[in-house]
Structure 1
Amino acid sequence: MNDSDTDARAAAGRNGSVDRPSQAAKGSAGGRAPGERPIRHGLVLFLTCLALGAVVSAMASLNVALPSLARETHASQMQLSWVIDAYSLAFAALLLPAGALGDRFGRKRALLAGLVIFATGSLLAMFTTDAHQLIALRALLGAGAALVMPATLSTITSTFPAAQRTRAVSVWTAVAGASAVLGLLVTGSLLEQWSWRSAFLLNMVLAVVAAVGTLLFVPESAEPDQPRLDVVGALITVAGLLALVYSVIEAPTRGWSDPLTIGGIVVGFVVLAGFVAWELRREHPLLDPRLFRTNPRFAAGSLSITLQFFAFFGFIFVVMQYLQLVRGDSALVAAVSALPMAGAMVPVTRLTPKLIEKTGKVAAPWIAGLLLIAVAMGVLSQLRQDSSYGLIVGGLIPLGAGIGLAMTPATTEITDALPRALQNVGSAMNDLSRELGGALGIAVLGSLLNAGYRGNLDLPDNLPPQAAAAAHASVAGAVVIGGPVAQSARAAFCDGLEQALLAGVGVALLAALLVGLLLRGTKPQPPEGAEDMTAGESERLGRAVTEPLVRGTR
C-alpha cells in the first residue's frame, strides 16, 4: 500500500473510521435537513486549501526575507533564528491540542479562529520595527497555524462523501506541497519591489480571503463525544520545548558551557520526560508513549521524519542567507536557486512507492535516502564565497532525491503500523514529527551557524565599537559596513555554515542507523482495513502524504 492512504485514512480516523463520516458528510450525501444550504464541495475544497496554503507558505517565505529583515530591524543572528523558529515552535507545541479542540468543539470554529489569529498577527507584524516584537508575533502566527492545519484536512474528510474523499485529500496534499515553493517565489518577487513586510502582507491577504469564504460557505462539523482535552499535557509540552529551544538558540551568546545554557537544556529534557510520565497515566493521552516501545515501525517512521526535517529546515535557514549575504543574490534569485531540489524531489517521491511495491523492500530505499541527505549536506558544507552555482546544484539534487526516497516509506510506516482505530494518532504524529524536527533543526543548526560566525569573525582593531557590535551581531550588519569587514564576515559565515551543515550530516547518518536498527527483523504488514481498498484507491492515495514534504522548501 502506498503513502497516502495514510492521510485519507488518518484524517478519516478522526471520525472513528473511513466508513463513519460526520454529520456534515452525511448531509452532503443527501441527508440534509429541510431548508439546509447544500454543501458546495468544490468551494469547500478551495477555501480549506487556501487556508492551508497560507500557513504552509509562512513556514518558508520569511527565510528568503531574512537579509532584508536584518538590515531594517538590526536583528542579530540569534534573533533571526528566533524569528523563524518562533513560528515552528508554537506550531509544533500546540498542534496536538489544537487538533483535539477542533474535533471536539467544531472544525469550522477552529479554522476561523486560527485564520483570525494568523491574519491579525500578520497585520501587526507588517508595522513592527522591533525584532523582539516580531518574534512574539511569529509565535502568535504559529498558534493560529496550529488551529488551521488540522482543521483543514479534518473538514475535508468529514464533509466529503466517500466517493469524493480520496480525490479531495489528494488535492489537499498537492497544495501543501506546492504552496511552500510558491511562497518562496512570490515573496522573492515581492521583495524586488518592497521589504520583508511583503511576506506578512501575503499571509494576511490569504488568511482574510480564506476566513471570509469559510464563514460563508464551509459547513460546521464536530465530534462532541471526543475525550476532554489534556490541558496539563499540552502545557508540559510547551514548557519543555521552550526551555530546550531557548537554551540552544541562546548558547552562542552565553556560551555552551554557561550554567544557564546547560541548566536550560537539562530542564527541557526533564520536563519532556515528565510529559511522557504524565501521558502514561492518562486514559486518553494526547500521544501514547507506549506506541514507540511496542511498535518499532511507528517509532522508526516518527524518528526518521523528525531527524530528516531537523536537517532540512536547518539547511533552508542557513543556505537562504548564504545565497543572499555571501553570494549577493537577490531574494528572487535565491528562491529560484532552490528549484533543482524540488525538481529532484517530486519525481523521486512519485517513483518510490512503485519501487517499494516492485522490490518488496521498505528499508533499502529509506536508508539510501537518508544517506543521500547526508552526502548532500556534506557537499553543501563546502560552500565558500567564490563557490560556483554548480556546487550548489551538486548538493541540492541529491538532497531532493534523498528526501523523496526517505520520506515516502517513513510516512507510510507511521500509519501503516497502526490499526484503523488509531489512524488519527498516525496523522497527528506525522504532522508533529515534521514541525518538531523543523523547530529543533532551526534552533540547533542556526545556533551552530551563529557560534561559528562569531568565533571566526576577524575585525580590524581600529573599527569603531558600534560598527564592531553590528558586525558581531549578524553578517547582514557586517555587509552594510562593507570593505574588509564585509569580506571577513562572509568568510566567517561560511565557517559557521560548514559547522552547521556537518552537524546535519551527522543527524542524517544517525537517522539511517536508527532506522536500520528499528526495522531489523520486522516485516511490513498491511494496516487493519487495508484489504477493504481497491487497487485504484491505493494508487490514488499513494501520493497524498508524500507531497507535503515539498513544503519544506517550507
Structure 2
Amino acid sequence: MTSSRTKWLGLVVISLAVSLIIVDSTIVNVAIPSIVDELAITSTQVQWVQESYTLVFAALLLMFGTLADRFGRRRMLLIGVVIFALSSVLAAAARSGDLLIGSRVLQGVGGAMILPSTLSVINATFRGRDRAIAFAVWGSTIGGMAAVGPVLGGWLTTYFSWRWAFGINVPLGVVIVVGVLFFVLESREPGARGLDLVGAVLSIVASGTLVFGLIEGRTYGWWLADTVPDIGSWSWPFDLSPIPIVFLIAALALIGFVLWGIRRERAGRPTMLAFGLFTIPSFRNGNIAALIVSLGEYGVILSLPLWLQNVLGYDALQTGYVILALAIGSFVASGFAGSFGNRISPVWIVRMGILAEMVGVAAVGLVIAPDTQWWSIAIGLFVYGFGIGLATAQLTGVVLKDVPVEQSGQGSGTQSTARQVGSALGIAILGTVLFTSVGASLETRLADNDTIPDAVKTQIVDAVVDSAGNAIPGLDNRSAEVAAEARAAFSDGTRYSAFAAACFLALGLLATLRLDGRRQEYEGEHAAEPAGTDAVR
C-alpha cells in the first residue's frame, strides 16, 4: 500500500490527466470560428471535429478499461497520455478539415486510455472517506475544466493561433508523464481474463453508425436521398437515403452486442461489458441516469461559442470569459458538496445538481437574442455550472459505490462509456437541432423578401449553415437587413438547442428517481484492501 503523501500527490497527477482530456474536449469550441475561417470547413465538419473525438472516446472506453485491469492501469495511463500528446501535434499542424478530424480520432484513442485508467486507480487506491474525497476532486476537475477550456482556448486563439489550443497539450503531457512515473502506483488484476474482440467490434459499429446517422441525416436525407453520397467513382444507386440503413446497422449491432455478451458471460468467458454488474441497482440505474443527463449536459457548450462570436461579435477571448461563469459555478458547487456531502444523500445532491443544470440552460435559452447582454448569459451559465459541479462527482460515486474493486476497470469503463455515449449523442442531436433550425428559420425570414431572387436566398441560407454561422459578419457588406435576419435565425437555432438540452436534463432527473435516495455510511478509514489487487511501483 502506498504512503498517504504519495497517494494524494498521485491524485493531483490523475486530476491533471483528467484535465488534459476534458479541457481538450471544450477548448476547441471557442476556436471553431477561427478554424472554419482558416481551413474553410463546413458545419458538418464542425460537428465532426467535436464528434470524432467524443465518438472514438466512447467506443473504446470499455475495451481500454478491461485492458488496464489486465496489463496495468498506470501503464495504460502513460500510453494514453503519450498518444494524446503526439496526436495533438498532428492536430496543431493540420492543413485541412479532414486532417484535423483524423487527428481528433487519434486524440480520442488516447483519451479513452486515460479516463478509465484514472477512475480505476482511484477505486483501487483509496478507501472509505478518502475515496469519497478523491471522487469529489475527480468530478470537480471535470466540471471546472469543462469551462476553463474555453477561456484558455479563447486566449490562445485571440493572441496566438487556434493551433495552440492543441499545442498546449504537449508540455502538459510531459508534466503528467513525469508525475505518473513518480507518484502513481501500478495496479492490476492478476486474474483478469482475455479481451472480447467481437464485442469490441460490435460496440464500435453500434456507436459509430448511430452517431454518423444523427450527424449526416440532414446532409443525405432522413428517408429519401437529398444528396447522393459517393466514394471515388462509386455513387449511391438508390432513391432511399443511406441513413435509414445506417440506423438499421446500429440497431442490429447493438442487439448483437448484448446477445453476444450475455452468451459469453453465461459460458464464463470474458465480455466487453460486465453484464452481471447491471444486477446491482445503483450501477444499473446510475448509468441510465448518467447517459440521459449527458445528452443535454454539454450541448450548450457546442452552440454558444458560435453564437457569441458570429452573432454578438465577441472575439474568442471574450467568449471564453463569458463561459468562465460556468467554471465559477462549478467551483462554488464543489464547496457546497464538500460541506453537505456527509449530511445529504449523494442521490439527492445529484438531483439538486441536475435540476440546477436544467434551470440554468433553460435560462440561457430564454435570453438568447441578437442584442442579448453578456451578463444575462453568464447568470444562466453560473447556475448551469453549479449543477454540473454538484451532479458529476456524486453521480460517479453512486454508480461505482457497490462495484467490487476487482471489477473496477469494467465498472468505471461502463459508467464513463455511458457518459461519453450520451455526450456523443448529445453533440449529434443538438448540433443537428442547431443547424437545421438555423436553416429553417432563415428560409422563413427571407421568404417574404421579394428583392432577393430565390436562388440567392438558397445560397445565403446554405452559406450561413455550412459555415456554422461564420458567413454572418460578411453579410453586413451585402445587406444589413439580410445580416440582421441571419443573426436572428442563428439566435433561434441556438435557443432551440438550449431548450432541447433542458428537455434531456429533465428526462435525466426523472431517471434518478429509480436511485436509492437513502444516505449511505462510508466504509471505515482502514478497510481491508480488496483481494487480488496487485499494487506495486
Report TM bin, short chain.
0.7 to 0.9
Match of 2:399 among 392, 414, 423: 414
Q: 2:127 touches 2:525 (CA, 8 Å); kept in 1? A: no
Match of 2:361 among 377, 387, 392: 377
Deviations 1:39-67 (A, max 9, x none): 97787566544433322211111111111
Matches within 5 A, 1:467-546: 469-474=462-467, 475-483=469-477, 484=479, 485-516=482-513, 518-519=514-515, 522=516, 524=518, 526=520, 530-533=522-525
Deviations 1:375-421 (A, max 9, x none): 33322223111112243134223322333444455333212344555
Structure 1, unpaired ranges of 5+: 1-20, 30-38, 536-554
Partner of 2:242: 260
Partner of 1:68: 34
**Pair 1:161–1:137, CA change in 2 (3 A):** same
**Pair 1:358–1:227, CA change in 2 (3 A):** same
TM-score (norm. length: structure 1): 0.79
Match of 2:257 among 275, 278, 289: 275
* Residue range with higher mean Cα deviation, 467-476 or 194-203: 467-476
Q: 2:140 touches 2:334 (CA, 8 Å); kept in 1? A: no
* Residue range with higher mean Cα deviation, 325-334 or 460-469: 460-469
For residue 278 of structure 1, report the CA deviation from its aligned partner: 1.7
**Pair 1:499–1:179, CA change in 2 (3 A):** closer
Is the aligned partner of 1:285 residue 2:271?
yes
Matches within 5 A, 1:367-446: 367-382=351-366, 383-407=368-392, 409-418=394-403, 422-446=407-431
Match of 2:209 among 221, 240, 243: 243
For residue 219 of structure 1, report the CA deviation from its aligned partner: 6.2
2-side partners of 1:225 and 1:276: how far apart?
A: 24
Q: 1:81 touches 1:442 (CA, 8 Å); kept in 2? A: yes
**Pair 1:44–1:355, CA change in 2 (3 A):** closer
For residue 213 of structure 1, report the CA deviation from its aligned partner: 6.0
Partner of 1:316: 301
The residue identity in structure 2 corresponding to 1:288 is A
2-side partners of 1:168 and 1:307: how far apart?
A: 25
For residue 110 of structure 1, report the CA deviation from its aligned partner: 2.2
For residue 157 of structure 1, report the CA deviation from its aligned partner: 6.7
The alignment partner of 2:370 has SS state of coil
Number of aligned residue pairs = 494
1-side partners of 2:19 and 2:375: how far apart?
A: 31
2-side partners of 1:115 and 1:432: how far apart?
A: 19
**Pair 1:157–1:390, CA change in 2 (3 A):** closer
Match of 2:151 among 151, 174, 185: 185
Match of 2:51 among 81, 85, 89: 85
**Pair 1:42–1:366, CA change in 2 (3 A):** closer
Deviations 1:464-486 (A, max 9, x none): 99777533412113434444354
* Residue range with higher mean Cα deviation, 79-88 or 499-508: 499-508
Deviations 1:206-235 (A, max 9, x none): 224434665688665543431112222121
For residue 186 of structure 1, report the CA deviation from its aligned partner: 2.1
The alignment partner of 2:471 has SS state of helix
Partner of 1:124: 90
Deviations 1:56-105 (A, max 9, x none): 21111111111111111111111111101111111111112112222322
**Pair 1:224–1:493, CA change in 2 (3 A):** same
Q: 1:353 touches 1:408 (CA, 8 Å); kept in 2? A: no
Deviations 1:472-502 (A, max 9, x none): 4121134344443543332221121122222
**Pair 1:451–1:469, CA change in 2 (3 A):** closer
Q: 1:89 touches 1:439 (CA, 8 Å); kept in 2? A: yes
Is the aligned partner of 1:345 residue 2:330?
yes
**Pair 1:302–1:354, CA change in 2 (3 A):** farther
Matches within 5 A, 1:169-180: 175-180=141-146
The residue identity in structure 1 corresponding to 2:193 is P
**Pair 1:45–1:389, CA change in 2 (3 A):** closer
RMSD, aligned α-carbons? 3.4
The residue identity in structure 2 corresponding to 1:261 is I
The residue identity in structure 1 corresponding to 2:323 is A
**Pair 1:47–1:401, CA change in 2 (3 A):** closer
TM-score (norm. length: structure 2): 0.81
Partner of 2:231: none
The residue identity in structure 2 corresponding to 1:376 is G
2-side partners of 1:433 and 1:201: how far apart?
A: 29
**Pair 1:448–1:186, CA change in 2 (3 A):** same
2-side partners of 1:220 and 1:206: how far apart?
A: 21
Deviations 1:212-262 (A, max 9, x none): 665688665543431112222121111100000000011222233343223
For residue 183 of structure 1, report the CA deviation from its aligned partner: 3.0
Q: 1:63 touches 1:320 (CA, 8 Å); kept in 2? A: yes
2-side partners of 1:267 and 1:289: how far apart?
A: 22
2-side partners of 1:352 and 1:105: how far apart?
A: 35
Sequence identity (%): 33
The residue identity in structure 2 corresponding to 1:263 is I
Q: 2:326 touches 2:385 (CA, 8 Å); kept in 1? A: yes
The residue identity in structure 1 corresponding to 2:463 is A
Q: 2:150 touches 2:323 (CA, 8 Å); kept in 1? A: no
Partner of 1:548: none
1-side partners of 2:351 and 2:208: how far apart?
A: 31
1-side partners of 2:75 and 2:255: how far apart?
A: 33
Q: 1:478 touches 1:489 (CA, 8 Å); kept in 2? A: yes
The residue identity in structure 2 corresponding to 1:490 is R
For residue 440 of structure 1, report the CA deviation from its aligned partner: 1.2
Q: 1:416 touches 1:526 (CA, 8 Å); kept in 2? A: no
* Residue range with higher mean Cα deviation, 439-448 or 216-225: 216-225
2-side partners of 1:315 and 1:134: how far apart?
A: 23
Matches within 5 A, 1:15-26: 25=2
Deviations 1:258-280 (A, max 9, x none): 43223322322331222111221
Q: 1:449 touches 1:499 (CA, 8 Å); kept in 2? A: yes
Match of 1:195 among 161, 182, 186: 161
The alignment partner of 1:140 has SS state of helix
Matches within 5 A, 1:203-222: 203-211=169-177, 221-222=187-188
Matches within 5 A, 1:101-116: 101-116=67-82
Structure 2, unpaired ranges of 5+: 225-240, 447-451, 528-537
2-side partners of 1:217 and 1:418: how far apart?
A: 25
For residue 319 of structure 1, report the CA deviation from its aligned partner: 1.1
Q: 2:128 touches 2:524 (CA, 8 Å); kept in 1? A: no
Partner of 1:542: none
